Chain A
Amino acid sequence: MIEVRALTKTLGSTRVLDGISFVAPSGQITGLLGPNGAGKTTAMRVLATLLHPDDGEVRIDGVDLATEPLEARRRIGLVTEEPGLFDRLSVREQLLFVAEVHGLSRSAATERIEQLAEALRMTDLLDARAGVLSKGNRQKVSLCRALVHDPPVLLLDEPTSGLDVVAAEGLQELLESADLTAERTVLLSTHRVDEAERLCERVVGLAAGRVVVDASLAELVAADGATDFRSTFVRLLGEATLAGRVAEQ
């Protein structure tokens, strides 16, 4: 489970996160949605311990980020828009490295990588150099790397951004697979409503650094009285974003 309480973060002179609070329960995918500049990536970076919060509290699987960042990192698998792979090294070498850094023995790591590669349908990629892989396959490797130590929490920061339709579809299909995500707390940051609608059971909508929506998809549509999630969400975020801009001015 991810618990965020009154999280505030200022970058430069801009208050990017303005006291956001939400809970991402375990066993389901929670979407972190919002337009560009809403603060999604900043929130994900704070959760991944890459940024220090100015104020507020974040707990990852019960571990306080502020006091135990290393322990929190052990419980997190992170996939970002840019996979960050060494081009000249093979996929297997890079996965083994991450597994060993997380404390897996060589044999356990090898076994785990084989299992994951099969589940992610990338066994044939294991011995390829990362530099020759397509962006879609690089993102698969990134997902495999995030899962190699079997973390209870998976943070996906716009993983399909920049992918073509086929590659994005392939990745979404994998994320739907119960083998990979069912037992974990998955937080998916995206600006694509269709992706959230397909993968997430719950959404947290951000606009201008504030939480404007925090509900399951079904609850949201029912409360709004609209016919579909997309129109409800777009309307809510649009209004909130506009209100935020007006408040800034």
Chain B
Amino acid sequence: MTLIVATRRMFRLARLDLLDGLRSRRQLVIRALTPVGLLLVLGAVLALVGGGDERIREGDYTVAVEGDRNGAAEVLGSLERERLRFVPVDDATRAVFDGTDVGVVLPDDLDARLAQGERLEITVVENPVRRSSRAAGLLVTSAVLDLHAAEVRSVPVASGERRAEPAFTYEITTIELTFEGVSVLVAQLIPALLCLQAALLTNGAASRMAGRTQMGLVQSQLALPVRRSELAGAKATAELGVGLVVSLPVLGIVLLLSALRSLDDFTGAEMAVAALAVLVALVAMGVLAAATGVVIGLVARTHGEVSLGTGVVLVVAAVTAGLVALGPFDLPSVAAVVPVVGLVSSLRHLLDGQGSIGWVAVAIGVTLLAAFFMVRVAGRSLDAERMVTRS
């Protein structure tokens, strides 16, 4: 009962800050559009970092082979001489997503049909964002070309006649253009967007809190008959409210992407669970981000310190989004016990069809716990003495 009363009081206290935040339309628009812009910039940076060519390295490249491997022993044997190590898989596209350098999809009975002169097609699957994948793809296609050239040369041609048509062709498929590729990309984009959105929430909350402290607004509220922790909770709640409103475009994109993801192999129930997990994760990250922003805004002595604090949060969020959500760091499930990072990772796994809702729940719980701790810190930071001595 006491908790309910305290919560009601906190929401009542949050009303004024919330209204004030929602009436700044220009700030709302900027804050709503920034994460989308940031993600585009981050994507461009990642593409640049992953761009460029890689020299063919000394070691072997791993090739995920999907299809009839036994029926293609001769062709694969020829290709193996080019330092390509073949690994049988059920799904070459998936394997390339999971880190295998390159994938090959073979037709059935390749050797036999090739010997009969049948025209066949080999699909090479590569990830254009990874240099090693592009290099391996190049190696595979050049080896295939060599093989092709040898086949063509082996056919005698009478004087004046044209050489035969190629015995088989190859096609390079980049994973982004596959349906599964889009699905996996969506699974990466959603947590990345949430992560960036949370960082921006921290930024907005910290700036506003610092401004209000400077204007004497916080001090006037400290003279009200409310507990510091309630006031701090109210500030964080209001910032969360504003944060959720400015998250609407991101939420829209996330729902759109989720719908796209559901077209793949998710059942209706799985999709509902995933959507719910995304929403709760958004709120959990938002609570932590808002509380962190309140702490930074109250503790920082100058606007420079606010910028420094929020800058650090933004960098951490960008690194988390870039490496854990979008990038190559595939953290183990147990990483769910690390606030935010674990949530990003476990959410990615869930949306990817490889994680479990249990780990996401753990990650949400841990993140909320961290948020609770941060609210307590915010309550202590609301010490008027600290503000007075600071000013």
Chain A nearest CB, measured from B290 CB (Å):
18
Contact B19 A93 (CB under 8 A): yes
What 1/0 flags go to A88-115 for Cβ under 8 Å of B? 1100011001101110000000000000
Known contacts A49-B223, A76-B223, A101-B224; is-contact A84 B216 (Cβ 8 Å): yes
Q: Indicate if B172 sits at the interface (CB-CB under 8 A).
A: no
Chain B nearest CB, measured from A129 CB (Å):
9
Q: Indicate if B276 sits at the interface (CB-CB under 8 A).
A: no
Chain B nearest CB, measured from A36 CB (Å):
15
Chain B nearest CB, measured from A219 CB (Å):
32
| A97-147 at interface with B (beta carbon < 8 Å) | 97-98, 100-102, 142, 145
Secondary structure at the B interface, as helix, strand, loop or mixed, is helix
Residue on A with the closest CB to B223?
A78
A-B contact count (CB 8 A): 77
| A60-101 at interface with B (beta carbon < 8 Å) | 70-71, 73-74, 76, 78, 80, 82-89, 93-94, 97-98, 100-101
Contact A101 B226 (CB under 8 A): yes
Residue on B with the closest CB to A86?
B20
Contact count band on B: 20 to 34
Q: Indicate if B384 sits at the interface (CB-CB under 8 A).
A: yes
Q: Indicate if B388 sits at the interface (CB-CB under 8 A).
A: yes
Residues of B within 8 A of A7 (CB): none
Q: Indicate if A11 sits at the interface (CB-CB under 8 A).
A: yes
Contact B16 A80 (CB under 8 A): no
Residue on B with the closest CB to A79?
B220
Residues of A within 8 A of B154 (CB): none
- Candidate in A51, A80, A86 with the most chain B CB atoms within 10 angstroms: A86
Residue on A with the closest CB to B17?
A86
- Can you offer 28 A-B residue contacts whose CB atoms are under 8 A? A45-B384, A45-B388, A49-B222, A50-B222, A50-B385, A52-B385, A70-B225, A70-B226, A73-B224, A73-B225, A74-B225, A78-B220, A78-B223, A80-B216, A83-B216, A84-B216, A84-B219, A86-B17, A89-B16, A89-B19, A93-B16, A94-B16, A97-B15, A98-B224, A100-B12, A101-B13, A101-B224, A142-B220
